[in-house]
Amino acid sequence: MTATLAPTKPPTVVRTTTGATGPSNKRSTLSTVVLLVGAAYCLLPVAWVLVASTKSAGELFTTFTFTPSTHLWDNVQDLSAYRGGLFWRWMANTALYAGVGALLSVIVSAMAGFGLAKFSFAGKKAIFNVILAGVLVPGVVLAIPQYLLLAQVGLTNTYWSVLLPSIISPYGIYLARIYAAASVPDDVLEAARTDGAGEARIFARIAVPMMVPGLVTVFLFQFVAIWNNYMLPYIMLGNDRLFPITVGLSGLLNQGASQPAMYTAVITGALLSIIPLIALFLLLQRYWQVDLAAGAVKA
């Protein structure tokens, strides 16, 4: 493939241009610098929120951006005291929506992915195509009909209204199918069946342990997707005691327009809310091997 795509120059020409100088140190410095500039750009807002959360409301708009102050603890206490600890309730809600939602999603996706990868049955191709089409459905476009339908059964403005629509993940199923196909050998399943093991046992004891690394990735994907989905809870929830952190903080920012003291609360809240997720990311780093085109690359 590469040969047809890239017309190659005669190798002799190439050799004369670089062969004499060898690997140049200049390029290594340049590429290091470019990458570090990228890293600095990505760290800038995080560094800013670290510094800004140490400032009092007065200092926020008066001292230089990156001059730290000493009010971090006061800010955290003020935020915690806001309406009886509402902020921490938002954090707990977020953990519930994203954590429980992603866990349920992994179970559903693992089952479906395993079923699709390891069995042949009538309608398999149709089901897989429907799920693939589901990957491309703009999720947020669903939010309004989902709201109207849940309203008819009286489930809007409850935990269920955010949790239930978050469980189904066509992309998670697609990934789980790839992992099941790649990591669970057919002869192991066949041997287990010959030994008389039931399907539930085969799935829980044999298939799932083999799929674990892939399932962690599915979990992370869905966790981020739920925690990132702003429109769904924004539409579904009216009671601010049910809000996830994103909806809660953007509401606080709205209030900041009329009472600037709120800005400090928003900034401190932003810092506290990203700490757990960043920790989770660093801990589970090795699972972020995102091979989107896995099916294609293998062939």
241-260 residues near another protein, rule: CB under 8 A: 245-247, 249-250, 253-254, 256-257
**Contacts for 96 with CB less than 8 Å, ≥ 6 apart:** 159, 163
CB of 205 to another protein, least distance (A): 15
CB-based burial, 193-231: b 16+ in 10 Å, e otherwise: eeeeeeeeebbeebbbebbeebbebbbbbbbebbbebee
Q: Among 69-77, 81-89, 122-130, 208-216, which window interacts with another protein (CB under 8 A)?
A: 122-130
Binding status of residue 205 toward another protein by CB under 8 A: no
Cβ atoms of 243 and 216 within 8 Å: the answer is no
CB of 241 to another protein, least distance (A): 19
For another protein, the binding residues in 123-182 under the rule CB under 8 A are 124, 127, 130-131, 134, 136-142, 144-146, 148-149, 164-165, 167-168, 170, 173, 181
How far from the centroid of its chain's Cα atoms is residue 156's Cα? 24
Cβ atoms of 170 and 251 within 8 Å: the answer is no
Number of residues that bind another protein (CB under 8 A): 115
Q: Among 73-81, 85-93, 208-216, 281-289, which window interacts with another protein (CB under 8 A)?
A: 281-289
Residue placing its CB nearer to another protein in the complex, 28 or 70: 28
For another protein, the binding residues in 67-96 under the rule CB under 8 A are none
Q: Among 74-82, 85-93, 208-216, 224-232, which window interacts with another protein (CB under 8 A)?
A: 224-232
Q: Among 5-13, 76-84, 85-93, 208-216, which window interacts with another protein (CB under 8 A)?
A: 5-13
**Contacts for 218 with CB less than 8 Å, ≥ 6 apart:** 105, 106, 109, 110, 169, 172, 175, 176, 179
Alpha-carbon distance of 63 to 56, in angstroms, equals: 10
Q: Judged by CB under 8 A, which of 31, 89, 204, 210 binds another protein?
A: 31
Binding status of residue 228 toward another protein by CB under 8 A: yes
Q: Judged by CB under 8 A, which of 32, 70, 77, 129 binds another protein?
A: 32
Binding status of residue 1 toward another protein by CB under 8 A: yes
Closest CA to 232 of 151, 139, 152: 139
Q: What angle, rounded to 10 degrees, do the helices at 101-118 and 124-136 form?
A: 140
φ, ψ dihedrals at 174, nearest 5°? -60, -45
Binding status of residue 214 toward another protein by CB under 8 A: no
Residue placing its CB nearer to another protein in the complex, 173 or 242: 173
Binding status of residue 114 toward another protein by CB under 8 A: yes
